[in-house]
Amino acid sequence: MYNRHLLRKEKLMRALLKALVLLIFVSCSAKNKKTMEKETNNTKALEPKVTGIGGIFFFSDNPDETKSWYAKNLGLETNDWGSSFEFRNAHKPEEINYLQWSPFKTGSDYFLPSKKEFMINYRVQNIEGLVKKLKANGVTMLDSIETYDYGKFVHIMDNEGNKIELWEPVDSTFSNMGGKTTK
Protein backbone atom coordinates (compact mmCIF):
# COMPACT_ATOMS: atom_id res chain seq x y z
CA MET A 1 0.00 0.00 0.00
CA TYR A 2 2.82 2.36 0.85
CA ASN A 3 4.46 1.77 -2.54
CA ARG A 4 1.20 2.38 -4.43
CA HIS A 5 0.66 5.63 -2.56
CA LEU A 6 4.24 6.69 -3.27
CA LEU A 7 3.89 5.70 -6.92
CA ARG A 8 0.68 7.74 -7.31
CA LYS A 9 2.29 10.72 -5.62
CA GLU A 10 5.32 10.43 -7.91
CA LYS A 11 3.09 10.23 -11.03
CA LEU A 12 1.11 13.22 -9.81
CA MET A 13 4.31 15.22 -9.23
CA ARG A 14 5.59 14.36 -12.73
CA ALA A 15 2.28 15.38 -14.26
CA LEU A 16 2.32 18.66 -12.33
CA LEU A 17 5.92 19.32 -13.35
CA LYS A 18 5.08 18.67 -17.02
CA ALA A 19 2.07 20.98 -16.76
CA LEU A 20 4.22 23.68 -15.14
CA VAL A 21 6.89 23.41 -17.86
CA LEU A 22 4.20 23.57 -20.55
CA LEU A 23 2.61 26.60 -18.88
CA ILE A 24 5.98 28.40 -18.68
CA PHE A 25 6.73 27.57 -22.33
CA VAL A 26 3.35 28.83 -23.55
CA SER A 27 3.63 31.97 -21.42
CA CYS A 28 7.15 32.77 -22.69
CA SER A 29 6.16 32.09 -26.29
CA ALA A 30 3.19 34.45 -26.01
CA LYS A 31 5.35 37.19 -24.44
CA ASN A 32 8.06 36.78 -27.11
CA LYS A 33 5.44 36.92 -29.86
CA LYS A 34 3.93 40.10 -28.37
CA THR A 35 7.39 41.67 -27.95
CA MET A 36 8.35 40.85 -31.55
CA GLU A 37 5.04 42.20 -32.86
CA LYS A 38 5.49 45.39 -30.81
CA GLU A 39 9.07 45.92 -32.10
CA THR A 40 7.98 45.28 -35.70
CA ASN A 41 5.06 47.68 -35.35
CA ASN A 42 7.33 50.33 -33.77
CA THR A 43 9.78 50.03 -36.67
CA LYS A 44 7.00 50.34 -39.23
CA ALA A 45 5.41 53.22 -37.33
CA LEU A 46 8.55 55.38 -37.15
CA GLU A 47 7.56 58.75 -38.52
CA PRO A 48 9.93 59.79 -41.32
CA LYS A 49 11.65 62.86 -39.87
CA VAL A 50 14.84 64.53 -38.66
CA THR A 51 15.81 63.51 -35.12
CA GLY A 52 18.87 65.71 -34.60
CA ILE A 53 22.14 67.01 -36.01
CA GLY A 54 24.53 64.37 -37.33
CA GLY A 55 27.34 66.56 -38.54
CA ILE A 56 28.63 70.04 -39.24
CA PHE A 57 30.88 70.39 -42.26
CA PHE A 58 32.54 73.63 -43.34
CA PHE A 59 35.28 74.99 -45.59
CA SER A 60 38.71 75.77 -44.18
CA ASP A 61 41.80 77.09 -45.98
CA ASN A 62 43.88 74.58 -43.99
CA PRO A 63 41.80 71.79 -42.41
CA ASP A 64 44.77 70.27 -40.52
CA GLU A 65 45.66 73.62 -38.88
CA THR A 66 41.99 74.19 -38.09
CA LYS A 67 41.72 70.79 -36.38
CA SER A 68 44.92 71.48 -34.43
CA TRP A 69 43.68 74.91 -33.34
CA TYR A 70 40.37 73.49 -32.08
CA ALA A 71 42.18 70.64 -30.28
CA LYS A 72 44.67 73.01 -28.59
CA ASN A 73 42.28 75.83 -27.73
CA LEU A 74 38.88 74.20 -27.30
CA GLY A 75 39.84 70.68 -26.28
CA LEU A 76 38.36 68.77 -29.22
CA GLU A 77 39.62 65.20 -29.71
CA THR A 78 40.50 65.28 -33.40
CA ASN A 79 41.09 62.56 -35.98
CA ASP A 80 41.56 62.39 -39.76
CA TRP A 81 37.97 63.52 -40.35
CA GLY A 82 37.67 66.21 -37.67
CA SER A 83 36.09 65.37 -34.33
CA SER A 84 33.37 62.94 -33.28
CA PHE A 85 31.16 64.26 -30.49
CA GLU A 86 29.65 61.58 -28.28
CA PHE A 87 26.25 62.01 -26.64
CA ARG A 88 23.40 59.92 -25.21
CA ASN A 89 20.15 59.23 -27.01
CA ALA A 90 17.38 61.02 -25.08
CA HIS A 91 14.89 58.19 -25.74
CA LYS A 92 17.39 55.37 -25.11
CA PRO A 93 19.91 56.68 -22.54
CA GLU A 94 21.94 53.48 -22.71
CA GLU A 95 22.64 54.19 -26.42
CA ILE A 96 25.62 56.35 -27.44
CA ASN A 97 25.14 58.58 -30.50
CA TYR A 98 27.64 60.64 -32.49
CA LEU A 99 27.89 64.00 -34.23
CA GLN A 100 30.72 64.60 -36.70
CA TRP A 101 32.50 67.98 -36.92
CA SER A 102 34.64 68.23 -40.07
CA PRO A 103 36.58 71.01 -41.78
CA PHE A 104 36.88 70.49 -45.56
CA LYS A 105 39.49 72.07 -47.81
CA THR A 106 38.07 75.30 -49.27
CA GLY A 107 36.71 74.60 -52.73
CA SER A 108 35.99 70.91 -52.09
CA ASP A 109 33.31 69.63 -54.44
CA TYR A 110 31.66 67.64 -51.63
CA PHE A 111 29.21 70.51 -51.01
CA LEU A 112 28.29 70.91 -54.70
CA PRO A 113 25.94 71.94 -56.20
CA SER A 114 25.55 74.27 -53.21
CA LYS A 115 27.63 77.44 -53.37
CA LYS A 116 27.67 77.71 -49.56
CA GLU A 117 30.74 77.20 -47.39
CA PHE A 118 29.04 74.68 -45.12
CA MET A 119 26.80 71.65 -45.09
CA ILE A 120 24.72 70.22 -42.27
CA ASN A 121 24.14 66.51 -41.80
CA TYR A 122 20.82 65.70 -40.14
CA ARG A 123 20.16 62.46 -38.26
CA VAL A 124 16.89 60.92 -39.46
CA GLN A 125 14.64 57.98 -38.75
CA ASN A 126 12.92 56.00 -41.51
CA ILE A 127 15.04 57.42 -44.35
CA GLU A 128 13.09 55.49 -47.00
CA GLY A 129 9.80 57.02 -45.81
CA LEU A 130 11.41 60.46 -45.61
CA VAL A 131 12.73 60.22 -49.19
CA LYS A 132 9.26 59.24 -50.39
CA LYS A 133 7.77 62.24 -48.55
CA LEU A 134 10.44 64.63 -49.91
CA LYS A 135 9.88 63.45 -53.49
CA ALA A 136 6.12 63.90 -53.08
CA ASN A 137 6.79 67.45 -51.85
CA GLY A 138 8.94 68.26 -54.91
CA VAL A 139 12.25 68.51 -52.99
CA THR A 140 15.37 68.31 -55.19
CA MET A 141 17.01 64.93 -54.65
CA LEU A 142 20.74 64.90 -55.50
CA ASP A 143 21.24 61.14 -55.31
CA SER A 144 19.61 57.96 -54.07
CA ILE A 145 20.01 56.29 -50.70
CA GLU A 146 23.44 54.72 -50.18
CA THR A 147 23.98 52.16 -47.41
CA TYR A 148 27.17 51.64 -45.41
CA ASP A 149 28.01 49.79 -42.19
CA TYR A 150 27.51 53.02 -40.25
CA GLY A 151 24.19 54.04 -41.80
CA LYS A 152 22.21 55.18 -44.81
CA PHE A 153 22.75 58.51 -46.59
CA VAL A 154 21.02 60.68 -49.16
CA HIS A 155 21.59 64.31 -50.25
CA ILE A 156 18.99 66.97 -51.00
CA MET A 157 18.84 70.71 -51.65
CA ASP A 158 16.75 73.01 -49.44
CA ASN A 159 14.80 76.02 -50.70
CA GLU A 160 17.83 78.32 -50.10
CA GLY A 161 20.22 76.25 -52.22
CA ASN A 162 21.94 74.53 -49.28
CA LYS A 163 23.04 70.96 -49.80
CA ILE A 164 21.82 68.81 -46.92
CA GLU A 165 23.02 65.36 -45.98
CA LEU A 166 20.44 63.06 -44.40
CA TRP A 167 21.80 60.17 -42.33
CA GLU A 168 20.02 57.25 -40.72
CA PRO A 169 22.86 56.18 -38.42
CA VAL A 170 24.04 52.86 -37.07
CA ASP A 171 25.81 54.36 -34.05
CA SER A 172 26.91 50.99 -32.69
CA THR A 173 29.43 50.79 -35.55
CA PHE A 174 31.23 53.87 -34.19
CA SER A 175 31.05 52.58 -30.62
CA ASN A 176 32.58 49.26 -31.71
CA MET A 177 35.39 51.07 -33.57
CA GLY A 178 36.55 52.74 -30.39
CA GLY A 179 38.87 55.74 -30.62
CA LYS A 180 38.81 59.07 -28.90
CA THR A 181 35.70 61.23 -29.00
CA THR A 182 34.85 64.72 -27.78
CA LYS A 183 32.57 64.43 -24.74
Burial of 122 (0-12, 13-18, 19+ CB in 10 A): middle
What are the pLDDT digits (tens) for 155-170? 999 999 999 999 999 9
Q: Are 86 and 178 in contact (CB under 8 A)?
A: no
What are the pLDDT digits (tens) for 12-52? 555 544 554 444 555 544 444 444 344 334 545 689 999 99
Q: Which segments of the chain does DSSP mark as H helices, in order? A: 2-45, 63-74, 127-136, 171-177
Report the pLDDT value the prediction gives residue 5, as an integer from 0 to 100.
53
What are the pLDDT digits (tens) for 72-91? 999 999 999 999 998 888 88
Is 0.75 topped by the overall pTM? no
Contacts of 129 (CB under 8 A, 6+ apart): 46, 47, 48
DSSP-derived letter for residue 182 is B
Q: Is the pLDDT of residue 63 over 70?
A: yes
Query: Is pLDDT larger for residue 2 or for residue 85?
Result: 85
Torsion of CA 183, 94, 125, 77, to 10 degrees: 20
Percent of the chain, pLDDT > 90?
A: 60
Statement: 49-177 belongs to CATH 3.10.180.10: yes
